[in-house]
Structure 1
Amino acid sequence: MDIEYAGEALIRPGQVLTDRSSLSSAARWTQAVSEGDGVCVIHLSRGVDVCEITRDLRDRGFRASPNHVVAGQPLFFGGPASRPFPARPAPSRPAKGRSSVLVGLLDTGVAKHPWWESSEWYGELGRDDGDAAEGTQAGHGTFLAGLILRGAPGVSLCARRVLDGDGIGDEATVIRALNRMRERAPQVINLSFGCYTFDDRPPPLLADALKGLPDTVKVACAGNTADDRPFWPAALQGVIAVGAVDAAEQRPAPFTAHGTWVDACARGEWLTSSYLETGEFEGYAAWSGTSFAAALVAGAIADAARERPAQEAARLLLDPARARQIPDLGSLVPSSL
């Protein structure tokens, strides 16, 4: 798909996200409409400005947004330019455990790996949930899965592919995946990707989709932007925005986003985890980014949710009276890896 700039945000050209209530109001600018899983994508006629139509619909009281492009967030400044490194020796595999907790993972998919190839949850994944064969971030979801399972042994993963092999996806795809998850809502969901919006306002339809999982703890990476500009969905109300600290867990990582909207932080530098078996990689890698700090926090919450509801587990874990506070990064969640 094509990508273009709208201000300082990336969007899909000519696409506006909305619900059915606004279709008639946008009819004169509409070339086609695709609808599915609770969201409509209006494909605008050639030459029509996406941002102007979005503002017009919002001024009329409708919920609308350009179809923002989202990207995974490893080191440095995120997106497909960064890369993992082979990890030798291999990191320790997840400990054996038994847990009824289900963790949602929206990302590049999860590839076959010795850590989970015989697990029930992996056997339930459909063919469309596997990793892309090529791309600079094809193993991103596989890496995240390993971090979550090492932090919360025995949990099951519900993985859905919303990013391609270069770690790129869009808001419409994420919204549809979230809406489908309502049928079997996870206790915790990890969203290690994000974007800026064209007007720095919250994306309304993405916010609606997350609110549709009221009992699920939502964990999202704050981004590798090295500034305090809100990054979505992390900056949405009700989402735990996770920044990164260095390998010693003492200082903010140089790439991490920060600010009053960031709720928590964890190690984000030189983490090792499961990866693809390809080229110089033997199924394991070392990688850096807020993506992976978010997975550590999601795993810690999922592990604590064995004993209590996930929302309560998250509150206790991030309680400022209990957790060390890092300025502009919130509560530190120590890593056991």
Structure 2
Amino acid sequence: MAEKPAGKSRSIQQIQTDHAVRALGGADEVGVRRDGETGEIQYLYRKGCILVREEAVPHVRSILDRYEESVRGRRDYGDRDRDDRTDPPPARERDRIEQVVNGVRLVWLRGLETHDALDLVREGNEEFDIPGLGAGWAAPDHAVHIAGDAGHCPATEPEPIGPGGAPYPPMSADPAAGAGVKVVVVDTGLDTELTANPFWMRGVTGERDPLVRPGRVLDPYAGHGTFIAGLVRAMAPRAEVHVLSLFARGGATWESTLVQNLDRAVAAEYPDVISMSAGTRAYAGGLLAFKVWGEERLRHHKGIALVVAAGNDGDRTFFWPAAAPFTVSVGALGTDWRSRAEFSNFGGWVDVYAPGTDLVNAFPDGKFTYQEPPNIPPTLPQARVETFAGLAMWSGTSFSTPIVAGMIAARMSRTGENGRDAAAALLAQARAQAVPGVGAVLLP
């Protein structure tokens, strides 16, 4: 396998994986799926359960029950002279199934490892004459993280910018851009107590970012949602921007939980555009709950544009949900705005590239302790600590994404198009000005 040109080193990936595992409940709750040949981390998943399409739940439950009964019968036959043969579990344990959203259920397992259960559902079992259902009916409950597959979005840790700085890319020349349009940012939340509140952040609302701790101590990923909201506002100064705190557990959440919260947000917030800078690599076929939500729920809400980060692995591997056809997937450009950023994912599934390197915008004031090389030992004697004063410089497809979301909002207010139509028009424009060797490009 060719070496990635600019993906983060495995040490950084492991650091971010460890952080996500702790945030989601520890090794008892979180599984780590690795590539069988390279050992590279592919994705994190929730142990002890699988996601299943609603119409397949009876068949999946039957497959799992038949397998369990066959294994128990074989074991008990071998021990038929013993008095401690196993009894089937009680019905309440055997039938633990939870609704996620319409069209998908969370099925809890008894004893089987998650991927063993998925193999059984897909392929069946010849020994016990149990037929499988084939692909596409069940998948893990993935961990979705603003650091991607447990390490890759944002591409860097933030750098402090002194007070009095200006946003980069600069504010839109049209002060009315985004008027009448609502953008919902799905992220860590908003720092609602910004001491140095830049003028372009006035009127931005949202749920508090819990990663900004008392005493203005900044945890990893603190300010991620605030920075993104600022980028939307730079592109669309009059847009109504509301930030949700859906990645409050160390920047991570379960796919099933995220889809439930997105469903509620669409119903309660009435967004025109949703900006989400999070994702993961995934089991074959992508994120099942997201796919079903797109099929059964999102498509029934006319005109919403879902804009999602393409991830920062520096390769063409699918990154979900950005690779899903119902999203606008955004990669990052380098500092010259003519080349692809080395960290950005790429490929035919990436819809458009926008500035995503060394961007400057609003960030919580407070003290941040760096977590990743080269800002920690052994490169430095001790971890670097910086005090931020309201602005930061940051890189990643996390930040090219709100650039595009803001440009969609700006076009909506100018043309009267809905979110999806405005997105389609901007993508056509981006393809018309495509950069050879990069792809479709949108510039502020």
Distance 1:10 1:149 in 2: 33
Query: What corresponds to 2:182 in structure 1?
Result: 102
**Partner Cα distance (1:167, 1:323) in 2:** 36
Aligned ranges for residues 149-188 of structure 1 at < 5 Å? 149-164=233-248, 166-183=250-267, 184-188=269-273
* Cα offset, 1:143, TM superposition: 0.7
**What residue number does 2:211 align with?**
132
- What is the aligned-residue RMSD (CA, Å)? 2.9
1:91 matched to 2:155? The reply is: no
Question: What is the aligned partner in structure 2 of residue 52 from structure 1?
Answer: 116
What CA distance in whole angstroms lies between the structure 2 residues aligned with 1:15 and 1:277?
40
User: Aligned match of 1:240 in 328, 333, 342?
Assistant: 328
Amino acid at match of 2:110: S
* Kept after mapping to 1: 8 A contact 2:51/2:288: no
Runs (5+) with no aligned partner, structure 1: none
Q: How does 1:72-91 map to 2 (within 5 A)?
A: 72-73=146-147, 78=152, 82-88=156-162, 89-91=164-166
Give identity over the alignment, percent.
Answer: 27
Q: Is the 8 A contact 1:136 1:166 kept in 2?
A: yes
Equivalent in the alignment of 2:352: 264
- CA distance in 1 between partners of 2:147 and 2:433 (Å): 24
Contact 2:153 2:398 in 1 (8 A): no
Residues 180 and 151 (structure 1 numbering): CA distance in 2 closer, same or farther, change over 3 Å? same
Are 1:223 and 2:257 an aligned pair?
no
Query: Do the aligned residues in 2 keep the contact of 1:16 with 1:41 (CA within 8 Å)?
Result: yes
Equivalents in 1 of 2:238, 2:290: separation in Å?
Answer: 30
- CA distance in 1: counterparts of 2:54 and 2:427, whole angstroms: 39
Letter in 1 for 2:152: G
- Tell me the alpha carbon deviations over residues 299-337 of structure 1, each in whole angstroms, 9 at most, x when there is no partner: 1111111122222211221215764213565321113xx
Aligned to 2:30: 3
2:443, 2:339 → 1: CA distance?
A: 13
- Cα distance between partner residues in 1 of 2:338 and 2:254: 34
- 1:63–1:152: structure 2 CA closer, same or farther, 3 Å change rule? farther
Report which stretch shifted further, 237-246 or 158-167. Answer: 158-167
Q: Could you say which residue in structure 1 is the equivalent of 2:395?
A: 288
Letter in 1 for 2:412: A
Cα separation, 2, equivalents of 1:202 and 1:107: 21
Determine helix, strand or coil for the equivalent of 2:180.
Answer: coil
Residue 197 (str. 1) matches residue 282 (str. 2): yes
Q: TM-score, normalised by structure 2?
A: 0.66
User: How many Å separate the matches in 1 of 2:344 and 2:282?
Assistant: 18
- How far apart are 1:45 and its partner, in Å? 2.3
Residues 264 and 329, structure 1, Cα contact 8 Å, conserved in 2? no
Residues 8-40 of structure 1 deviation map (CA, whole Å, 9 limit, x = unaligned) = 222122231235544444374766444455453
Distance 1:322 1:65, change over 3 A: closer
C-alpha change, 1:91 and 1:3, in structure 2 (3 Å) is farther
Which range moves more in the overlay, 173-182 or 242-251?
A: 173-182
1:302 partner letter? A
Contact conserved, 1:80 with 1:167, CA < 8 A, in 2? no
